[in-house]
Structure 1
Protein backbone atom coordinates (compact mmCIF):
# COMPACT_ATOMS: atom_id res chain seq x y z
CA UNK A 1 0.00 0.00 0.00
CA UNK A 2 1.38 3.38 -0.97
CA UNK A 3 2.14 6.16 1.45
CA UNK A 4 -0.62 8.40 0.00
CA UNK A 5 -3.22 5.63 0.29
CA UNK A 6 -2.31 4.94 3.92
CA UNK A 7 -2.59 8.66 4.77
CA UNK A 8 -5.99 8.77 3.09
CA UNK A 9 -7.14 5.72 5.05
CA UNK A 10 -5.88 7.25 8.30
CA UNK A 11 -7.70 10.53 7.63
CA UNK A 12 -10.94 8.68 6.83
CA UNK A 13 -10.64 6.56 9.99
CA UNK A 14 -10.04 9.62 12.17
CA UNK A 15 -12.94 11.46 10.52
CA UNK A 16 -15.30 8.51 11.02
CA UNK A 17 -14.59 8.36 14.75
CA UNK A 18 -13.87 12.00 15.66
CA UNK A 19 -16.41 13.86 13.51
CA UNK A 20 -19.52 12.42 15.28
CA UNK A 21 -18.08 13.38 18.67
CA UNK A 22 -17.36 16.92 17.50
CA UNK A 23 -20.83 17.27 15.97
CA UNK A 24 -22.49 15.94 19.14
CA UNK A 25 -20.56 18.43 21.27
CA UNK A 26 -21.58 21.30 18.97
CA UNK A 27 -25.22 20.18 19.05
CA UNK A 28 -25.22 20.10 22.86
CA UNK A 29 -23.48 23.45 23.27
CA UNK A 30 -25.64 25.28 20.74
CA UNK A 31 -29.05 23.78 21.71
CA UNK A 32 -29.72 22.41 18.24
CA UNK A 33 -32.34 20.02 19.65
CA UNK A 34 -34.65 19.78 22.63
CA UNK A 35 -33.18 17.94 25.54
CA UNK A 36 -34.79 14.69 26.69
CA UNK A 37 -37.44 15.72 29.20
CA UNK A 38 -40.46 13.47 29.18
CA UNK A 39 -42.46 14.93 32.04
CA UNK A 40 -45.53 16.89 31.01
CA UNK A 41 -45.91 18.88 34.21
CA UNK A 42 -43.66 21.70 35.31
CA UNK A 43 -40.77 20.54 37.46
CA UNK A 44 -40.31 22.19 40.84
CA UNK A 45 -36.63 22.87 41.41
CA UNK A 46 -35.98 22.68 44.27
CA UNK A 47 -38.79 20.45 45.46
CA UNK A 48 -41.11 21.66 48.20
CA UNK A 49 -40.94 19.64 51.41
CA UNK A 50 -44.47 18.71 52.50
CA UNK A 51 -43.42 16.55 55.47
CA UNK A 52 -44.94 18.88 58.06
CA UNK A 53 -48.24 18.84 56.20
CA UNK A 54 -48.27 15.10 55.54
CA UNK A 55 -46.69 13.82 58.75
CA UNK A 56 -47.66 10.28 59.75
CA UNK A 57 -49.03 9.72 56.25
CA UNK A 58 -48.62 6.42 54.49
CA UNK A 59 -45.94 6.61 51.75
CA UNK A 60 -47.99 7.10 48.60
CA UNK A 61 -47.83 9.22 45.50
CA UNK A 62 -50.26 12.10 45.87
CA UNK A 63 -52.22 14.43 43.65
CA UNK A 64 -52.51 17.42 45.94
CA UNK A 65 -54.71 20.49 45.55
CA UNK A 66 -55.09 23.43 47.95
CA UNK A 67 -58.70 24.57 48.33
CA UNK A 68 -58.96 28.36 47.82
CA UNK A 69 -61.15 30.78 49.79
CA UNK A 70 -63.68 30.79 46.95
CA UNK A 71 -64.10 27.80 44.65
CA UNK A 72 -64.36 29.09 41.08
CA UNK A 73 -64.13 27.28 37.72
CA UNK A 74 -60.41 26.60 38.21
CA UNK A 75 -61.14 25.00 41.57
CA UNK A 76 -63.97 22.87 40.19
CA UNK A 77 -61.79 21.73 37.29
CA UNK A 78 -58.94 20.86 39.66
CA UNK A 79 -61.22 18.79 41.91
CA UNK A 80 -62.67 17.01 38.89
CA UNK A 81 -59.17 16.42 37.48
CA UNK A 82 -57.60 14.85 40.56
CA UNK A 83 -60.62 12.58 40.98
CA UNK A 84 -60.57 11.47 37.35
CA UNK A 85 -56.81 10.95 37.29
CA UNK A 86 -56.99 8.84 40.44
CA UNK A 87 -59.80 6.74 38.92
CA UNK A 88 -57.90 6.35 35.64
CA UNK A 89 -54.91 4.88 37.46
CA UNK A 90 -56.93 1.68 37.80
CA UNK A 91 -55.05 -1.11 39.56
CA UNK A 92 -52.27 1.33 40.47
CA UNK A 93 -54.69 3.59 42.36
CA UNK A 94 -53.88 1.88 45.66
CA UNK A 95 -50.36 3.35 45.36
CA UNK A 96 -51.70 6.88 44.91
CA UNK A 97 -53.98 9.26 46.75
CA UNK A 98 -55.99 12.33 45.72
CA UNK A 99 -55.81 14.94 48.49
CA UNK A 100 -57.41 18.36 48.94
CA UNK A 101 -55.78 20.57 51.56
CA UNK A 102 -58.32 22.76 53.35
CA UNK A 103 -57.95 25.60 55.82
CA UNK A 104 -60.49 27.42 57.97
CA UNK A 105 -60.82 30.05 55.24
CA UNK A 106 -61.40 27.52 52.44
CA UNK A 107 -64.75 27.55 50.62
CA UNK A 108 -67.02 25.51 52.91
CA UNK A 109 -69.58 24.91 50.15
CA UNK A 110 -66.89 23.36 47.97
CA UNK A 111 -65.65 21.25 50.87
CA UNK A 112 -69.17 19.93 51.36
CA UNK A 113 -69.39 19.24 47.61
CA UNK A 114 -66.37 16.93 47.91
CA UNK A 115 -68.87 14.23 48.84
CA UNK A 116 -69.39 13.93 45.07
CA UNK A 117 -65.79 12.70 44.90
CA UNK A 118 -65.63 9.78 47.36
CA UNK A 119 -62.02 8.93 46.49
CA UNK A 120 -60.70 12.43 47.16
CA UNK A 121 -59.51 12.83 50.73
CA UNK A 122 -59.50 16.12 52.62
CA UNK A 123 -56.60 17.21 54.76
CA UNK A 124 -57.56 20.04 57.11
CA UNK A 125 -54.63 22.20 58.19
CA UNK A 126 -54.47 25.12 60.61
CA UNK A 127 -51.89 27.21 58.78
CA UNK A 128 -52.18 28.09 55.09
CA UNK A 129 -49.64 26.54 52.74
CA UNK A 130 -47.41 28.40 50.34
CA UNK A 131 -48.75 26.35 47.43
CA UNK A 132 -50.83 28.06 44.75
CA UNK A 133 -54.50 27.16 44.66
CA UNK A 134 -54.55 27.33 40.85
CA UNK A 135 -52.27 24.30 40.54
CA UNK A 136 -52.34 20.58 41.20
CA UNK A 137 -49.13 19.12 42.61
CA UNK A 138 -47.65 15.65 42.40
CA UNK A 139 -46.08 14.74 45.73
CA UNK A 140 -43.72 11.78 45.89
CA UNK A 141 -43.63 9.07 48.52
CA UNK A 142 -41.14 11.06 50.58
CA UNK A 143 -43.55 14.02 50.76
CA UNK A 144 -41.76 16.28 48.29
CA UNK A 145 -43.89 18.26 45.85
CA UNK A 146 -42.01 17.74 42.60
CA UNK A 147 -44.30 18.55 39.68
CA UNK A 148 -47.16 20.97 39.24
CA UNK A 149 -49.86 21.60 36.67
CA UNK A 150 -51.59 24.94 36.17
CA UNK A 151 -55.31 24.33 35.90
CA UNK A 152 -57.30 26.60 33.60
CA UNK A 153 -60.90 27.72 33.96
CA UNK A 154 -61.77 26.30 30.52
CA UNK A 155 -62.97 22.70 30.88
CA UNK A 156 -61.25 21.47 27.68
CA UNK A 157 -57.90 22.87 28.80
CA UNK A 158 -58.39 21.30 32.22
CA UNK A 159 -59.09 17.91 30.64
CA UNK A 160 -55.91 18.19 28.57
CA UNK A 161 -53.94 19.01 31.70
CA UNK A 162 -55.55 15.99 33.39
CA UNK A 163 -54.19 13.80 30.61
CA UNK A 164 -50.75 15.22 31.26
CA UNK A 165 -51.12 14.48 34.99
CA UNK A 166 -52.22 10.94 34.22
CA UNK A 167 -49.28 10.35 31.87
CA UNK A 168 -46.81 11.58 34.49
CA UNK A 169 -48.44 9.61 37.31
CA UNK A 170 -48.42 6.41 35.27
CA UNK A 171 -44.78 6.91 34.41
CA UNK A 172 -43.83 7.66 38.02
CA UNK A 173 -45.74 4.65 39.34
CA UNK A 174 -44.19 2.41 36.69
CA UNK A 175 -40.65 3.54 37.47
CA UNK A 176 -41.10 3.71 41.24
CA UNK A 177 -40.95 0.74 43.54
CA UNK A 178 -42.00 2.78 46.55
CA UNK A 179 -45.57 3.58 47.44
Structure 2
Protein backbone atom coordinates (compact mmCIF):
# COMPACT_ATOMS: atom_id res chain seq x y z
CA UNK A 1 0.00 0.00 0.00
CA UNK A 2 2.87 2.31 0.68
CA UNK A 3 4.09 1.66 -2.82
CA UNK A 4 0.77 2.69 -4.37
CA UNK A 5 0.72 5.99 -2.38
CA UNK A 6 4.23 6.81 -3.44
CA UNK A 7 3.32 5.88 -7.03
CA UNK A 8 0.30 8.25 -6.88
CA UNK A 9 2.51 11.02 -5.46
CA UNK A 10 4.97 10.53 -8.28
CA UNK A 11 2.16 10.61 -10.87
CA UNK A 12 0.67 13.76 -9.32
CA UNK A 13 4.09 15.38 -9.19
CA UNK A 14 4.73 14.38 -12.79
CA UNK A 15 1.31 15.73 -13.87
CA UNK A 16 1.98 19.04 -12.10
CA UNK A 17 5.34 19.37 -13.86
CA UNK A 18 3.72 18.61 -17.21
CA UNK A 19 1.01 21.22 -16.61
CA UNK A 20 3.59 23.82 -15.56
CA UNK A 21 5.67 23.06 -18.63
CA UNK A 22 2.62 23.34 -20.87
CA UNK A 23 1.57 26.65 -19.28
CA UNK A 24 5.11 28.00 -19.57
CA UNK A 25 5.28 26.95 -23.21
CA UNK A 26 1.91 28.57 -23.99
CA UNK A 27 2.95 31.75 -22.15
CA UNK A 28 6.25 32.00 -24.02
CA UNK A 29 4.51 31.81 -27.40
CA UNK A 30 1.19 33.54 -26.73
CA UNK A 31 2.32 36.47 -24.54
CA UNK A 32 4.52 38.18 -27.20
CA UNK A 33 1.69 37.89 -29.74
CA UNK A 34 -0.79 39.44 -27.31
CA UNK A 35 1.63 42.25 -26.42
CA UNK A 36 2.30 42.98 -30.10
CA UNK A 37 -1.43 43.09 -30.83
CA UNK A 38 -2.00 45.50 -27.93
CA UNK A 39 0.91 47.69 -29.03
CA UNK A 40 -0.46 47.98 -32.55
CA UNK A 41 -4.06 48.58 -31.50
CA UNK A 42 -3.13 51.21 -28.91
CA UNK A 43 -0.49 52.83 -31.16
CA UNK A 44 2.30 52.49 -28.62
CA UNK A 45 4.86 52.54 -31.44
CA UNK A 46 5.73 54.89 -34.29
CA UNK A 47 4.64 52.84 -37.27
CA UNK A 48 7.71 53.11 -39.45
CA UNK A 49 7.92 56.92 -39.61
CA UNK A 50 11.57 57.66 -40.14
CA UNK A 51 11.55 61.03 -41.87
CA UNK A 52 12.03 64.18 -39.82
CA UNK A 53 10.27 66.50 -42.26
CA UNK A 54 6.68 66.32 -43.39
CA UNK A 55 5.88 64.33 -46.53
CA UNK A 56 3.97 66.41 -49.05
CA UNK A 57 0.48 65.05 -49.62
CA UNK A 58 -0.14 66.92 -52.89
CA UNK A 59 2.23 66.34 -55.82
CA UNK A 60 4.55 69.30 -56.40
CA UNK A 61 7.37 69.49 -58.93
CA UNK A 62 10.11 71.94 -59.83
CA UNK A 63 8.27 72.51 -63.13
CA UNK A 64 5.18 73.59 -61.17
CA UNK A 65 7.36 76.21 -59.48
CA UNK A 66 8.92 77.29 -62.78
CA UNK A 67 12.37 76.02 -61.76
CA UNK A 68 13.62 74.54 -65.02
CA UNK A 69 17.28 75.37 -64.47
CA UNK A 70 19.70 72.98 -66.23
CA UNK A 71 22.06 72.92 -63.21
CA UNK A 72 19.27 71.29 -61.18
CA UNK A 73 19.04 68.26 -63.47
CA UNK A 74 19.90 65.02 -61.67
CA UNK A 75 20.57 66.85 -58.40
CA UNK A 76 18.97 66.62 -54.99
CA UNK A 77 17.87 70.08 -53.89
CA UNK A 78 17.56 71.71 -50.50
CA UNK A 79 15.26 74.64 -51.26
CA UNK A 80 14.81 77.41 -48.73
CA UNK A 81 11.78 79.59 -49.46
CA UNK A 82 12.60 82.79 -47.58
CA UNK A 83 10.03 84.97 -45.83
CA UNK A 84 9.10 88.40 -47.20
CA UNK A 85 11.35 90.04 -44.60
CA UNK A 86 14.56 88.60 -43.25
CA UNK A 87 15.39 89.60 -39.66
CA UNK A 88 18.22 88.05 -37.66
CA UNK A 89 16.26 84.84 -37.12
CA UNK A 90 15.95 84.39 -40.89
CA UNK A 91 19.66 85.02 -41.41
CA UNK A 92 20.41 82.43 -38.76
CA UNK A 93 18.12 79.96 -40.56
CA UNK A 94 20.01 80.54 -43.81
CA UNK A 95 23.22 79.71 -41.97
CA UNK A 96 21.67 76.63 -40.35
CA UNK A 97 20.38 75.25 -43.65
CA UNK A 98 23.72 75.96 -45.35
CA UNK A 99 25.59 74.22 -42.53
CA UNK A 100 23.28 71.22 -42.99
CA UNK A 101 24.32 71.13 -46.65
CA UNK A 102 28.02 71.32 -45.72
CA UNK A 103 27.53 68.55 -43.13
CA UNK A 104 26.67 66.15 -45.96
CA UNK A 105 30.41 65.91 -46.61
CA UNK A 106 31.23 63.54 -49.47
CA UNK A 107 27.62 63.69 -50.67
CA UNK A 108 27.71 67.49 -51.19
CA UNK A 109 28.28 67.20 -54.97
CA UNK A 110 24.95 65.33 -55.26
CA UNK A 111 23.04 68.19 -53.62
CA UNK A 112 22.42 71.83 -54.57
CA UNK A 113 21.20 74.38 -52.01
CA UNK A 114 18.68 76.85 -53.49
CA UNK A 115 17.39 80.12 -52.02
CA UNK A 116 14.06 81.47 -53.23
CA UNK A 117 14.01 85.13 -52.26
CA UNK A 118 12.28 88.39 -52.89
CA UNK A 119 14.09 91.70 -52.84
CA UNK A 120 14.71 91.59 -49.10
CA UNK A 121 18.47 91.89 -48.69
CA UNK A 122 20.77 94.87 -48.70
CA UNK A 123 23.40 95.14 -51.43
CA UNK A 124 26.05 93.92 -48.99
CA UNK A 125 23.97 90.88 -47.97
CA UNK A 126 23.28 90.05 -51.63
CA UNK A 127 27.02 90.23 -52.37
CA UNK A 128 27.74 87.95 -49.42
CA UNK A 129 25.12 85.43 -50.55
CA UNK A 130 26.44 85.29 -54.12
CA UNK A 131 29.86 84.30 -52.74
CA UNK A 132 28.29 81.33 -50.95
CA UNK A 133 27.31 77.98 -52.44
CA UNK A 134 23.64 78.95 -52.67
CA UNK A 135 21.88 79.02 -56.02
CA UNK A 136 19.74 82.13 -55.69
CA UNK A 137 16.45 82.46 -57.55
CA UNK A 138 13.91 85.26 -57.44
CA UNK A 139 10.68 84.34 -55.71
CA UNK A 140 8.03 84.48 -58.44
CA UNK A 141 4.27 84.91 -57.98
CA UNK A 142 3.89 81.28 -59.12
CA UNK A 143 6.19 80.15 -56.28
CA UNK A 144 4.37 82.35 -53.76
CA UNK A 145 1.04 80.74 -54.73
CA UNK A 146 2.33 77.19 -54.32
CA UNK A 147 4.67 77.65 -51.36
CA UNK A 148 2.78 79.29 -48.54
CA UNK A 149 5.20 80.86 -46.12
CA UNK A 150 8.87 80.24 -45.40
CA UNK A 151 9.96 76.62 -45.33
CA UNK A 152 12.74 74.26 -46.33
CA UNK A 153 11.88 71.77 -49.07
CA UNK A 154 13.73 68.73 -50.35
CA UNK A 155 13.43 67.80 -54.02
CA UNK A 156 14.62 64.58 -55.62
CA UNK A 157 16.75 64.40 -58.81
CA UNK A 158 13.61 63.74 -60.88
CA UNK A 159 12.18 67.14 -59.94
CA UNK A 160 9.64 66.00 -57.34
CA UNK A 161 9.42 67.95 -54.10
CA UNK A 162 8.95 65.32 -51.44
CA UNK A 163 9.58 66.77 -47.98
CA UNK A 164 8.93 70.02 -46.16
CA UNK A 165 10.56 71.29 -42.98
CA UNK A 166 8.86 74.11 -41.12
CA UNK A 167 11.14 76.80 -39.74
CA UNK A 168 11.44 77.06 -35.97
CA UNK A 169 9.91 79.99 -34.17
CA UNK A 170 12.72 80.27 -31.64
CA UNK A 171 16.43 80.52 -32.21
CA UNK A 172 17.13 77.66 -29.78
CA UNK A 173 15.31 75.30 -32.17
CA UNK A 174 17.64 76.06 -35.11
CA UNK A 175 19.90 73.15 -34.17
CA UNK A 176 17.02 70.68 -34.32
CA UNK A 177 16.08 72.02 -37.79
CA UNK A 178 19.63 71.43 -39.00
CA UNK A 179 19.75 67.92 -37.54
CA UNK A 180 16.38 67.06 -39.11
CA UNK A 181 17.52 68.20 -42.56
CA UNK A 182 20.78 66.27 -42.26
CA UNK A 183 19.00 63.10 -41.09
CA UNK A 184 16.52 63.22 -43.99
CA UNK A 185 19.15 64.02 -46.61
CA UNK A 186 21.57 61.32 -45.46
CA UNK A 187 18.79 58.74 -45.51
CA UNK A 188 17.61 59.80 -48.97
CA UNK A 189 21.12 59.91 -50.40
CA UNK A 190 21.98 56.52 -48.88
CA UNK A 191 19.09 54.73 -50.58
CA UNK A 192 19.02 56.71 -53.82
CA UNK A 193 20.75 55.50 -56.96
CA UNK A 194 19.79 58.67 -58.81
CA UNK A 195 21.60 61.97 -58.42
Q: TM-score range by the shorter chain?
A: 0.7 to 0.9
Would you say the 8 A contact 1:60–1:140 is kept in 2? yes
The alignment's TM-score, normalised by the length of structure 1, stands at 0.78
Which whole-Å CA distance do the structure 2 matches of 1:141 and 1:8 have between them? 61
Summarize the alignment of residues 1-179 of structure 1 with structure 2, pairs less than 5 Å apart: 6-41=18-53, 43-46=54-57, 48-52=59-63, 53=65, 54-55=67-68, 57-102=72-117, 106-109=118-121, 113-117=125-129, 118-124=132-138, 126-129=140-143, 130-152=146-168, 154-179=170-195
Which whole-Å CA distance do the structure 2 matches of 1:162 and 1:4 have between them? 61
Would you say the 8 A contact 1:152–1:158 is kept in 2? yes
After TM superposition, give the deviation of residue 37 of structure 1 in Å: 3.0
Which whole-Å CA distance do the structure 2 matches of 1:171 and 1:84 have between them? 17
Structure 1: gaps spanning 5 or more residues: none
Which structure: greater strand fraction?
1
After TM superposition, give the deviation of residue 99 of structure 1 in Å: 0.5
The alignment's TM-score, normalised by the length of structure 2, stands at 0.72
Deviation digits for residues 48-72 of structure 1, max 9, x if unmatched? 4123133353122211112333223
In structure 1, the partner of 2:3 is none
Would you say the 8 A contact 1:74–1:152 is kept in 2? no
Which whole-Å CA distance do the structure 2 matches of 1:4 and 1:119 have between them? 76
Count the aligned residue pairs.
Answer: 175
After TM superposition, give the deviation of residue 137 of structure 1 in Å: 1.4
Would you say the 8 A contact 1:134–1:151 is kept in 2? yes
Would you say the 8 A contact 2:82–2:151 is kept in 1? no
Q: Which runs of 4+ in 1 moved over 4 A?
A: 1-8
Q: Which has the larger radius of gyration?
A: 2
Structure 2: gaps spanning 5 or more residues: 1-10
After TM superposition, give the deviation of residue 132 of structure 1 in Å: 3.4
Which structure: greater helix fraction?
2
Deviation digits for residues 83-121 of structure 1, max 9, x if unmatched? 22222212210011101124xxx1252687344242100
